[in-house]
Amino acid sequence: MKEFQLKSRSEDETREIAAILSTLFHAGEMIVLDGELGAGKTQFAKGFANALGCVDNVTSPTFSIANFYKTREWEILHVDLYRVETPEEYEALGLEDYFPRVVTLVEWGSKFPGYLDPSLAVSFARERGGDSRVLTITCANDAIGKSIERIMPRLTLFLSC
Ligand SMILES: Nc1ncnc2c1ncn2[C@@H]1O[C@H](COP(=O)(O)OP(=O)(O)OP(=O)(O)O)[C@@H](O)[C@H]1O
Ligand SMILES: [Mg+2]
């Protein structure tokens, strides 16, 4: 499985999709989140972190650029590249040093192609007005594709046809 689409009809559904996907990840892995302002990237991060036992209020790291959240097993590094203007500025943040021991979620993660090495990409598209979002999920390798096939029964409800 390389790419598939899910439909979320509310912020709760986006958090639920993230919670289901969160069971597949381990320290050292990364998800990039893309889509326009207000598309739902932070809601996804919130659902992901809370499902893994994070009790903090997950908020947008637009101004802090990066936040850490403790989960039951490892920390989540939640990054937002919206205000990072150049690849040099990104590199100067030194975030890569943390990648091996955290799961990293990066909003606006496709901004500097080639600088990140995600296992999964989630791209959010708003449908005309309203609360619906189409999530296009792209697996970067066979391993994550196979893991997703395993949990697909839990995602069937959200499959977009
Ligand atoms: N299906 C949906 N999924 C996610 N959020 C939704 C949905 N429907 C409505 N919303 C609303 O859209 C907004 C999404 O905000 P969020 O902060 O997650 O966006 P974002 O993609 O992180 O934006 P930014 O690029 O500014 O960081 C919230 O106000 C949320 O309530
Ligand atoms: Mg955000």
| Token pair listed for 114 | 């080639």
Give CA separation, 101 vs 23, 30, 94, 158, in Å.
Answer: 17, 11, 14, 31
Ligand 1 pocket residue status of 158, Cβ below 6 Å: no
pLDDT band for position 146 (cuts 50, 70, 90): very high
Averaged pLDDT, 3-7: 97
- Ligand 1 atom nearest residue 35's Cα: 21
Residue whose Cα lies nearest atom 17 of ligand 1: it is 42
Q: Whole-angstrom Cα distance, residue 35 to residue 23? A: 23
Ligand 1 pocket residue status of 37, Cβ below 6 Å: yes
In this structure, the strands spanning 75-80 and 102-107 are parallel
Does residue 88 sit within a domain? yes
Asked if the model's pLDDT at residue 107 lies above 90, the reply is yes
Total structural domains within the chain:
1
Nearest to 148 by CA among 157, 161, 135, 138: 138
Q: Whole-angstrom Cα distance, residue 86 to residue 12? A: 34
Does residue 52 sit within a domain? yes
Ligand 1 pocket residue status of 55, Cβ below 6 Å: no
Q: Whole-angstrom Cα distance, residue 111 to residue 5? A: 21
Mean pLDDT, the chain, rounded, equals: 96
Q: Which ligand is the nearest neighbour of the Cα of 46?
A: 1
Looking at residue 109, which CATH number applies to its domain? 3.40.50.300
Averaged pLDDT, 105-109: 98
Q: From ligand 1's centre to the CA of 94, what distance in Å?
A: 28
| Token pair listed for 88 | 């040099």
| Token pair listed for 156 | 């069937």
Give the global pTM.
0.97
For 57, the domain range is 3-134+148-158
Residue % of the chain over a pLDDT of 90: 94
pLDDT band for position 127 (cuts 50, 70, 90): confident
**102 three-class SS:** strand
Residues within 5 A (CB) of ion ligand 2: 41-42, 60, 107
pLDDT band for position 1 (cuts 50, 70, 90): low
Does residue 93 sit within a domain? yes
pLDDT (tens digit per residue) in 21-47: 999 999 999 999 999 999 999 999 999
Averaged pLDDT, 119-124: 98
